Structure 1
Amino acid sequence: MADYILGIDIGGTNTKYGLVDKKGKVVGEGAFITHAHEKVEFFLEELKKNILPKLEGKSVLGVGVGAPNANYFNGTIMQAANISWGDNVPLQKLISGVFDLPAILTNDASAAALGEMKFGGAQGMKDFVIFTLGTGLGSGFVVNGEIVYGHSGFAGEIGHVGVNPDGRYCGCGRRGCLETYVSATGIKKTVFKMMADYTRPSVLRDVSYNDMTAEMITNAAKDHDYIAIKAFEYTGQIFGQKLADTVVHTSPEAIFLFGGLVNAGDYLLDPATYYMEKFMFKPFKKTVKLLPSSLMDQNAAVLGAAALGWEEFSKK
């Protein structure tokens, strides 16, 4: 019988999960609403309802979890911008109790980096960065083959570097954070800015803010919608400048992009690459590859959370 690690990726909107074997094969995968703005007990009930039945008859060694603002050192979620369960939630302990299995917790983007390194395009790389472009913006750093956690466990939160001190309000309580511009939530706001700035027709003008999704904006851009294309150009410009800043810290071989916005392809990648190179410190010009994740058809964070579990529990 194959052994598995249960990988769980907790997002601000949805939670995804799957049982992952040593070779990265995923079975029993699924998703449910995170209930990010309700009590954590609602989330724990969803875990029981959706996942427990799929563990029956399986040899599961433990649980690996990726979540926003997760602290690898103490197993807590601390003041996550897009999850309102409390300032210091002992999630590792709670999840271990639900499944009666050992659990390990890390930042969702760090989990995605582990997945890319073990099962994806970063195999063989020792220095790279991954950005996850979802409800918010996460980032994970790998230096000399190791995830960078820093002193506090929160190293590499590029989503909360400043773009404009008088800019958009962020869920973290600050203004002008990168993720308020470069994320599924951010590009929705940008579309409404573009519709105010330009008089050009757009299919997006008939969509309310609450109904609009990043997928709609991507599809509109692919249909040559002027407003959608301008929104991606604006997003790519801001992102590219911050990518250039990111490079000087660790000199990565590559930067991988994962998440729904990446489905826009060149509409996002072209301006991001252009502005990254334009603002790059000269010694780093043309040294860094900007690539979509090779795990886009899978869930890099689920695979990465499971990779963390394999690393932690197979030793024991």
Structure 2
Amino acid sequence: MESPYVIGIDMGGTNTAFGIVDMRGEVLRRGAIKTQKHTDVNLYIDELYSALMEIIEEVGGIEKIKGIGMGAPNGNYYTGNIEFAPNLPWKGVIPFANMLKEKFGVPAALTNDANAAAIGEMTYGAARGMKNFIMITLGTGVGSGIVINGQLVYGHDGFAGELGHTTIVRNNGRVCGCGKTGCLETYTSATGVARTARELLEIRKDDSLLRNIPLESITSKDVFDAAVKGDAIALEIFEYTGKLLGEAFADFVAFSAPEAIVIFGGLAKSGDLIMKPVRDNMEQNLLPIWKGKVKLLFSALNEADAAVLGASALAWELK
């Protein structure tokens, strides 16, 4: 009989979350360890192994596990390697999928975190049954997973789909962590929204609830809270962010004609504050052939489990 469960691992720069998932997409057991704790990747794998084996035993042992899927920064699906991830304590190229396979004795695969979210959305969430959609994750950065004809697009080298690093502001754009300027990520991520707030408050004199917070401490959540209370500057920040996202989405539609664009991450919690300007600006900039055709959806996955579910979905395909 086929093993009834898979493991999903979501490796973030700070924490690594994991869970055991059944075929219906229920997370039966979960846990987490600190990613940054070990500068030696082997010690990290040892800790991950101990923590996972504890919950694997609770569901009947390793023979119940079909495989392991992992979402990781700079994870390359083709090679199974994590390659030159800037936010991880281990440098260079790490053959992570192979290390997991050897340690646990079951097949393992990895991809990057935004691709894992797209696979999760397609397997268990808002994009279930869709063959063409784009997943956009709005967190500390802007990630994306592009699905065309039911297949995730990996490109020639395994790294396709970096829509957060397309240029949205050509002249005097903000410097991005990637080294380029004007990247979408620098404006429409949670960090980008906080940056817009600081810039506006410095050049403007009008009152704002955001002036009660030290400039350097402002977060995107503060901007949201102020916007809900009707604060004019906070509302303007959402309009501006939504305008840039909407314009970028219109370009993305021209490239892959998706049925939907699914938005996931902290900023998605802003609801219509972000969605209305995004939709209006996307529609204004679409070619007539696509107007009114592309759905904008919020992720249907529970945020706490989404990345783990997405990673786990990779493992069902393993032989």
Structure 1 length-normalised TM: 0.89
Structure 1 Cα separation of the partners of residues 93 and 13 of structure 2: 16
Stretch deviating more after TM superposition (225-234 or 64-73): 225-234
Pair 1:44–1:254, CA change in 2 (3 A): same
Stretch deviating more after TM superposition (179-188 or 194-203): 194-203
Stretch deviating more after TM superposition (42-51 or 157-166): 42-51
Is 2:95 the counterpart of 1:94? no
Pair 1:11–1:227, CA change in 2 (3 A): farther
Structure 2 Cα separation of the partners of residues 91 and 188 of structure 1: 34
CA contact (8 A) 1:36 1:85 kept: no
Structure 2 Cα separation of the partners of residues 210 and 38 of structure 1: 30
CA contact (8 A) 2:10 2:72 kept: yes
Alignment of 1:265-304 (within 5 A): 265-304=271-310
Aligned partner of 1:207 in structure 2 is 213
User: Could you list the runs of 5+ residues in structure 2 that have no partner in the other structure?
Assistant: none
Q: Match for 2:268 among 262, 274, 280? A: 262
> Offset at 1:192?
0.6
- Matching residue's letter, 1:53: E
CA contact (8 A) 1:80 1:172 kept: no
Structure 1 Cα separation of the partners of residues 69 and 310 of structure 2: 8
For residues 160-218 of structure 1, what are the alpha-carbon distances to aligned partners after superposition, in whole Å with 9 as ceiling and x for unaligned? 11123432222222222111111122111111112123323334334346644333332
CA contact (8 A) 2:226 2:234 kept: yes
> Offset at 1:30?
3.7
Alignment of 1:13-162 (within 5 A): 13-35=14-36, 40=41, 43-44=44-45, 47-48=48-49, 50-58=51-59, 59-83=64-88, 85-162=90-167
> Offset at 1:132?
0.8
For residues 219-245 of structure 1, what are the alpha-carbon distances to aligned partners after superposition, in whole Å with 9 as ceiling and x for unaligned? 232222333222222211111111000
Pair 1:99–1:173, CA change in 2 (3 A): farther
RMSD, aligned α-carbons: 2.5
> Offset at 1:32?
4.6
Aligned partner of 1:179 in structure 2 is 185
- Matching residue's letter, 2:112: N
* Percent of aligned pairs with the same amino acid: 46
CA contact (8 A) 1:35 1:42 kept: no
> Offset at 1:100?
4.3
Structure 2 Cα separation of the partners of residues 148 and 32 of structure 1: 30
User: Could you list the runs of 5+ residues in structure 1 that have no partner in the other structure?
Assistant: none
Pair 1:300–1:200, CA change in 2 (3 A): same
Higher Cα Rg: structure 1 or 2? 2
> Offset at 1:267?
0.9
For residues 87-128 of structure 1, what are the alpha-carbon distances to aligned partners after superposition, in whole Å with 9 as ceiling and x for unaligned? 423222333355443310012111111111111121121111
